[in-house]
Amino acid sequence: MQASLQKIAARASVLKGVLPLSRVAAARDALAGVQLASMDIPQVLGYARIAGMPAVTGLYTVFLPLVAFAFFGASRHLVVAADSATATIFASRLATMAPASSVEYAALAAMVALLTAALLLVARIFKLGFLADFLSRTVLVGFLAGVGAQVGIAMLADMVGVPGHAASSLNQLLLVVRGSAQINRPTLAISLLVVAAILVSKRFWPRLPVPLIAVVAGIAASDAFGFAAHGISILGPVEGGLPPLRIPSVTWQQMLDLVPVAASCFVMIVAQSAAASRVFAERYHESVDTNADLLGIAAANAAAAFSGAFVVNGSPTQTAMADRAGTRSQFAQLVFAAVVVVVLLFFSRYLQYLPHCILASIVFTIAIGLVNVRSLFSIRRESPGEFWLASITAAAVVLIGVEHGILVAVALSLLRHVRHSYRPHTMMLAPNGDGMWVPVPAVPGMETAPGLIVYRFGADLFYANDHFFVDDTRRLIDRAPNPVRWFVVDASAITDVDYSAARSVGELCSALKRNGVEVIFARVNRYLRSDMDRHGITPIVEERCIFGTLHEALSMAGVEKPHEQVKGAP
């Protein structure tokens, strides 16, 4: 029976994250799913708070979206549900279009999810899973740190009982500071107790569901002692039952305004989901199918849109929580969804007594977790330049908003890559004290031997760096201690030459030959040779000056027994 089901699923390319599944594995994952539900339900309620949506919609994100991803996705570990990063992205824009938690706001949030699903489906059709590689881990760390700071600031008002909400993080912080005289002491005491309990439990008892305990205890205490009568804000009536299925209803202009928001969510989803699925697939020696996961997340967001929820994401945080709970397949997520159905049908009415400060405190601890201090210090120690990129990204998120911050993050990732290609490392062979040739940074005024320079350019040649190659070559030749007769280009790092660079290189070689300098290309691979032939560089340099090894090139330059003279050739 199981074998036949697995064959049908394989033919239809579904349930990749569930099958194969033995009875023992199913029992293990079922228990893990229940434990995951106990830890995650309070978090998705908090994410709904971040998103500006009714609390019950947080539960909606871990019902049909979870089932949709388990059916269409490929990762056995990825948890696709509400996430703080994407919730912050669309909430920052929707807050300017409609009142939070209103019917219109909910419709806009559902449309963002539907548009995001469409973008993910297009990405799956055209196999654009590789786009995840364009958001560097460094910038992603900075982005999440900025999101953590922004979310943490947004929760402060609820944690201290100060009324009001501001659009920007700085204004929100000022609002709390100016309203310090209105701080509700019982609210502040509860918040401090919850935050301390969660942080301590994470340190010493990571599997203890303290957020769930805080929620249950808060509901019981609020009902018994009438928190609302003592100035402690509570959620109020919460709609129960299963989510209603409906198509998001917005105007054409509103939909157009939401496209950039959906695009920002799309970028974050692709980056975070790919990172999370890869990490845990590598941990358990499993294959990664990013494009199948894109289809699964597209289906999950479509399910969220039609069930009154909001954008869902493959959350690294919740995936790590699922792993700690012992989940090893999407069957655990299906059990999680079943637990949520029970809560929606029988326990949602009790949520009305939940104090806002407890929910805000849970979200605040989530925000703290997004600021990965260890990674930031590691980046600073190993690469100060990349640390500044991460810091700028974090500052952009806090100061100009998440939607623009994600664009800054992508731009910085791409600029960092272009910068490395634009100004690559260059090396040359130079004699050391023992008479051996060793690779050193290419600095004008040095030579490999009288009349000879062996030069290595550390990147492909294209329109943005061809002038650097030309200028660097001319400086080395013009300032050499002796007139240069042979200029050997070690092309081991060059695999591609575009049209613009080919023109520049061809003109340089022609000019050098007229001045009596023979240009020799060494370590030329077949891809570079094909480009040299196609762009007309080969006739200029001549066949006799193009070699597959450095030793052959040095022999051409009249160096006898080069293998005895070269040490650690660049």
Give Cβ neighbours of residue 472 (< 8 Å, ≥ 6 apart): 426, 442, 455, 457
Domain with CATH 3.30.750.24 in the chain: 423-564
Helix 373-382 × helix 137-160 angle, to 10°: 140
Distances, alpha carbon 561 to alpha carbons 419, 534, 553, 557, in Å = 38, 33, 12, 12
Counting as low any pLDDT under 50, the low residues of the chain are 1, 561-565
Q: What is the dihedral of CA 497, 427, 464, 476, to 10 degrees?
A: -100
Give me the pLDDT at residue 466, please: 92
Nearest alpha-carbon partner for 279 in 322, 334, 215, 230: 322
Considering just the CA atoms, what is the radius of gyration of the chain in Å? 30
pLDDT in tens, 296-340: 999 999 999 999 999 999 877 677 777 777 788 899 999 999 999
Give me the pLDDT at residue 322, please: 79
State how far the Cα of 201 lies from the Cα of 188, in Å rounded to an integer: 20
Q: What is the pTM of this model?
A: 0.69
Asked if 332 and 66 count as a contact pair (C-beta separation under 8 A), the reply is no
Nearest alpha-carbon partner for 108 in 313, 314, 307, 305: 305
Give me the pLDDT at residue 7, please: 60
Would strands 426-431 and 80-81 be described as parallel, antiparallel, or unpaired? unpaired
State how far the Cα of 46 lies from the Cα of 358, in Å rounded to an integer: 9
Q: What are residue 30's phi and psi, to 5 degrees?
A: -65, -45
State how far the Cα of 510 lies from the Cα of 478, in Å rounded to an integer: 16
Give me the pLDDT at residue 12, please: 53
Give me the pLDDT at residue 236, please: 77
Tokens of 237: 């009536």
State how far the Cα of 456 lies from the Cα of 424, in Å rounded to an integer: 10
Residue 539: cis peptide before it, omega within 30 degrees of 0? no
**Class of residue 241 by CB neighbours under 10 A (exposed 0-12, middle 13-18, buried 19+):** exposed
Give Cβ neighbours of residue 468 (< 8 Å, ≥ 6 apart): 422, 423, 424
Give me the pLDDT at residue 564, please: 44
Give me the pLDDT at residue 570, please: 52
CA terminus-to-terminus distance, the chain: 60
State how far the Cα of 86 lies from the Cα of 152, in Å rounded to an integer: 15
Give me the pLDDT at residue 134, please: 66
State how far the Cα of 233 lies from the Cα of 229, in Å rounded to an integer: 9
pLDDT in tens, 351-384: 788 888 888 888 788 778 778 888 888 888 888 8
Nearest alpha-carbon partner for 316 in 349, 281, 273: 273
Write out the CATH class of domain 423-564. Answer: alpha beta
Give me the pLDDT at residue 106, please: 93
Residue with structure tokens 């080069």?
A: 562
